[in-house]
Amino acid sequence: MSYGIYKTALKDGTASFRVSFYHAKKHIAIGSYSDEKAAGAALKEALALYDDKTITIWNFRHFISEVSSDKAVSILNHRDNHVYFKTPIYLMQGYFL
């Protein structure tokens, strides 16, 4: 298992893989996935949202398949405006988008 992926068990005993990591002293929880491959893809996408400045609020949907759109907006807001909201809010020139 790679960094940021943690195996857990649901109440019925089914395996689940939680994805989370720390960025700029903030704990970012991406979500739970039924298999390790999907969890790895979600982690890769989330890290790319932080690292790739060509991914913007206007085009991020082309770069994600495992990370939810809500979580992607929160990550992009944290990257661009240094503020993390759990709700999918993106600050833009003093306004919410």
The winner for highest mean pLDDT among 21-25, 29-33, 85-89 is 29-33
pLDDT of residue 96: 58
Tell me how many domains the chain contains: 1
pLDDT of residue 60: 97
SS3 19: strand
pLDDT of residue 22: 93
DSSP for residue 70: H
In terms of residue numbers, what domain contains 51?
5-96
Q: What is the pTM of this model?
A: 0.87
The pLDDT tens digits of the residues spanning 40-82 come to 999 999 999 999 999 999 999 999 999 999 999 999 999 999 9
SS3 58: coil
